[in-house]
Amino acid sequence: MSNFRGCMEVNFFGTLSVTKSFLPLLRHNKGRIVNISSPAGDQPFPCLAAYGASKAALNLFTNTLRHELEPWGVQVSTILPSSYRTGRSSNRAYWDQQHKQLLQSLSPALLDEYGEDYVTEIKDLFHSYASQASTDLSPVVQAIVQALLAPQPRPRYYAGPGVGLMYFIHTYCPFSLSSWLLQWLFVKKKLKPRALRKEGLEINLNLLNNNNEEKLQ
């Protein structure tokens, strides 16, 4: 719950507070609002529920502002970046610390159901994904500049390679294809939760026993 509340405080309530403070000036001077969001706010990225939920709230808030502030001449845009290597995202020590805290916070029953190796694999996948992300932030900077200075700014800017294609697939292709793409690109897990592995083993053993009994008969 602390992760969900933390993400909402930073990504939604923080932006809401700053926007509310400056709205009188923005309305009277026909200013602009440019929010940095994420594709995770529109698409169900595996293992990013807390982050994605906060960005989804931000996206809806920004889209609503666009309609409400149109009579005042205030333009509102959302920047949707692809994956970039910033801050802690490529810091292995950070991921190790997050992994340690997660293991300590899980109840023994829940940890037994998932298995420590399952949780460790997720940590390694996140670190691998972050370490391969681009360090060139120029597409994001250029999108922000366009949103601030263009005579007619777009409601949304896809900043970085692959984001526009991802949204096209998410919008126009079957949900099963979009879901498979997110799993394939983002979380290439090989392990199942420990409890499911046990169930699979028990099923296989039962089938083997049944086959042996049939042969004996």
Reduced to 3 DSSP states, what percent helix, strand and coil does the chain have, rounded to the nearest 5? 70, 10, 20
Token pair recorded at residue 29: 């001077």
Cα separation, 87 vs 120, whole angstroms: 22
DSSP string, 163-182: HHHHHHHHHHS-HHHHHHHH
C-alpha dihedral sign at 89, 62, 185, 193: positive
Contact 7, 52 (CB under 8 A): no
In the annotation, is 129 catalytic?
no
Write out the E strands in 42-190. 75-81, 156-159
Contact 48, 93 (CB under 8 A): no
Token pair recorded at residue 169: 């697939």
C-alpha dihedral sign at 58, 60, 66, 69: negative
Task: Point out the residues that are catalytic.
Answer: 51
